[in-house]
Amino acid sequence: MNICEWTSDYSVGISEVDRHHQRLFEILNDLFNLMRDGAEDKPILKVIEELLDYTNYHFTEEEKIMEQMHYPALAQHKILHQELIQQLKTFQASAQSGMAIFVAIKIADVGLAWLKNHILTVDHQYSEYMKQQGLQF
Ligand SMILES: [Fe+2]
């Protein structure tokens, strides 16, 4: 079962970034399914690590693209990325100290709301800028 699906409403007009966002939705779905199945700490911690690693990778790539388009709001956008990474690291530490399933519920909830809101607002802003400048990636 999926708690979230990527639809074209989330598209930023860059296929690489859209693929990353789809993968993030998938990882959050994996986490949700583990929780639903009452999984042990170990598999949950593995998915949390994957989420953190993939989020880091995605942010780095997205920031490179924004740099290439000389996006004026890059600095502010980077701060938002760093805030989520910090939040995920805090959740990860708390999951590592036990009862990972309860932390996973929070991560799936907060992470999903963050991702949806972030894509539809700030990611769409650089997408608009790219279109206005006639750029393609
Ligand atoms: Fe972003």
Give the distance (Å) from ligand 1 centre to CA of residue 1: 26
For residue 21, report the distance from its CA to the centre of ligand 1, in Å.
10
The token duo for 51 is 């989420």
For residue 113, report the distance from its CA to the centre of ligand 1, in Å. 14
Domains in the chain, start-ordered, CATH in brackets?
A: 17-132 (1.20.120.50)
pLDDT for res 38: 94
Q: pTM, whole model, 2 decimals?
A: 0.96
- Find all residues with CB under 8 Å of 10, minimum gap 6, and list them: 18, 21, 116, 119, 120
CA dihedral over 74, 89, 20, 108, signed as positive or negative: negative
Q: What is the mean pLDDT of residues 109-119?
A: 96
How confident is the model over 53-74, as pLDDT tens digits? 999 999 999 999 999 999 999 9
At residue 36 the predicted structure's pLDDT band, cuts being 50, 70 and 90, is: very high
